[in-house]
Amino acid sequence: MQVTIAGGGMIVHDQILPSFYQLQRLGLVDQIAVCAQHGRTLATLAGSQSISHAFPGQKFRAYPDATRDPNLPHPDLYREVIAAMPPRNVVMIALPDHLHFDAILTALRADQHVLAVKPLVLKAAEAAAIEKEALQRGLFVGIEYHKRFDDRSLMARRKYRSGDFGEFRLGMAHLMEKWYYRHSNFQNWCTTENSDAFTYIGCHYVDLVHFITGLAPVSVSVYGIQEKYPNGNEGYLWTDARIIWSNGACLNVQNSLSFPDAAPGTNAQGLTLYCASGDKGGLLRHSDQYRGVEHVYTNNPPIYAEPSPDYFQYVYLGGGGLTPVGYGYRSIEYLYRCCLRIESASDRQQALREIDSEAIVATPANSRYNEQVIEAARKSIQSNGQQVSI
Ligand SMILES: NC(=O)c1ccc[n+]([C@@H]2O[C@H](COP(=O)([O-])OP(=O)(O)OC[C@H]3O[C@@H](n4cnc5c(N)ncnc54)[C@H](O)[C@@H]3O)[C@@H](O)[C@H]2O)c1
């Protein structure tokens, strides 16, 4: 199938485009197009040293193309690009959070399978509309919660579900992005009216706790601290969320754009769940940032780093270029293979329901709790952390 990626920002550069290039190299993906708002974004993407080093000779079709003014915005171009695709191919949505709903419906109505970065959408009713539209057309919609494809999550899920930990009672998760994010394109969209640190990144851990335990969230409260970005826009750059689950368990999730630029690694993140079974306590603790690797590079001044070998790395495995490895790549491959699976199924609706019930990948039908939590979180943060029921 051919793949059109809507959006050309950080996540497209770091994970999505190289993953599709690898699938193209393997002969699984046909041509790749990327549509961004500005030509300058695509010029940067096409000029990326790391990507061209890994995939020499591989190219994407750029919309807008290089003949147009690189600084002219084209906010509706993705509609034309998607409309021109032959039916039953793949659109990958990597736009800012608040644009997902419209873009996903546009793609479904053009008869395209849809893969979307998280969060799918910001309202549960929107997720329901997407689910309905996709099912009636026999199209797959998958949400890219790549932490699910980290083997430690899959191990935890198996062990939790076979009762090894007991039952989740209290937990904490955190994901702090680097301070420099404030200077990125985030300041143009991750602002108080559209999103917040929890909605943007905390949703990963809410999804993961459900993925591991099978529990459903029942209420949410999010306290946010507003601060100005360098361009003067306001954002909830620090958030503290409390999620109560269907068995009464409580998860605290802290998120921010605050991890010092001088600190090792690209962020700080982890999950701890305290569990109980009879008179014994169970524990699951993941350091999702420090993965046991320490490097010192002989720059001037030298740099101490704790790179994660697990999310997304390029390694040399022979042949030309480099091979992407890690759960970032595996997640995209799994999602894409779901589209292939639907296309080769004799009964597409049945195949869609099977993927929903296996619940390895998040779909609108099997992960509505994510949009419910986000919707409640947005209400809560705007009312100073009031508890909102789902
Ligand atoms: N860990 C994760 O799963 C993860 C990490 C980062 C981002 N994301 C998600 O990916 C999405 C994008 O994030 P990002 O970090 O790449 O942000 P970014 O700001 O770097 O990129 C956003 C891109 O969208 C493009 N865009 C905006 N409006 C557009 C329009 N109308 N038409 C075409 N392109 C348009 C911009 O040109 C830019 O290239 C967000 O939904 C974010 O939550 C997920």
Residue 345 CA to ligand 1 centre (angstroms): 32
What are the residue ranges of helices labelled H in 186-293? 186-189, 197, 203-213
Nearest CA to 173 among 93, 69, 245? 245
What are the residue ranges of helices labelled H in the chain? 10-11, 17-25, 39-46, 49-54, 77-83, 100-109, 124-137, 151-161, 186-189, 197, 203-213, 327-344, 348-358, 368-382
Kindly report the protein residue whose alpha carbon is nearest to atom 17 of ligand 1. Answer: 9
Residue 166 CA to ligand 1 centre (angstroms): 38
Residue 254 CA to ligand 1 centre (angstroms): 22
Kindly report the protein residue whose alpha carbon is nearest to atom 19 of ligand 1. Answer: 185
- Whether the CB of 37 sits within 6 Å of ligand 1: yes
Helix (H) or strand (E) holding 259: strand 250-259
pLDDT, residue 134, reads 98
| Half-sphere exposure at residue 84, Cβ-oriented, CA atoms within 13 angstroms | 9
| Half-sphere exposure at residue 335, Cβ-oriented, CA atoms within 13 angstroms | 31
Those residues whose C-beta lies under 8 Å from the C-beta of residue 175, and which sit 6 or more positions away, are 201, 202, 204, 205, 253, 254, 255, 267, 268, 269, 288
Please check the confidence at residue 204 and state whether its pLDDT lies above 90. Answer: yes
Per cent of the chain over pLDDT 90 is 97
Q: Which of 5, 10, 121, 331 to mutate to test the pocket of ligand 1 (most atoms within 8 A of CB)?
A: 10
Q: Which of 14, 65, 82, 117 to mutate to test the pocket of ligand 1 (most atoms within 8 A of CB)?
A: 117
- Whether the CB of 197 sits within 6 Å of ligand 1: no
Atom of ligand 1 nearest to the CA of 195: 43
Which tokens go with 74?
A: 């084209």
Please compute the mean of the pLDDT values over residues 321-331 and round it to a whole number: 98
pLDDT tens-place string over residues 104-132: 999 999 999 999 999 999 999 999 999 99
pLDDT tens-place string over residues 30-41: 999 999 999 999
pLDDT, residue 222, reads 98
Residue 13 CA to ligand 1 centre (angstroms): 10
pLDDT, residue 336, reads 98
Residue 6 CA to ligand 1 centre (angstroms): 9
pLDDT, residue 265, reads 86
What phi, psi does 174 have (nearest 5°)? -145, 150
Cα–Cα distance for residue pair 67/92, rounded to 1 Å? 24
The whole-angstrom distance between residue 298's C-alpha and the CA centroid of its chain comes to 33
pLDDT, residue 136, reads 97
- Whether the CB of 97 sits within 6 Å of ligand 1: yes
Residue 95 CA to ligand 1 centre (angstroms): 4
Per-residue confidence at 360, pLDDT binned at 50, 70, 90? very high
pLDDT, residue 94, reads 98
Residue 286 DSSP SS3: strand
Residue 117 CA to ligand 1 centre (angstroms): 9
- Please give the C-alpha separations between residue 308 and each of 167, 187, 253, 284, 291, in angstroms, as whole numbers: 30, 26, 21, 20, 6
- Whether the CB of 10 sits within 6 Å of ligand 1: yes
Please check the confidence at residue 152 and state whether its pLDDT lies above 90. Answer: yes
Please compute the mean of the pLDDT values over residues 217-222 and round it to a whole number: 98
pLDDT tens-place string over residues 46-65: 999 999 999 999 999 999 99
Cα–Cα distance for residue pair 356/384, rounded to 1 Å? 35
pLDDT, residue 139, reads 98
pLDDT tens-place string over residues 266-276: 899 999 999 99
Which tokens go with 193?
A: 């009216």
pLDDT tens-place string over residues 283-318: 999 999 999 999 999 999 999 999 999 999 999 999
Please compute the mean of the pLDDT values over residues 1-5 and round it to a whole number: 98
Q: Give the pTM.
A: 0.95
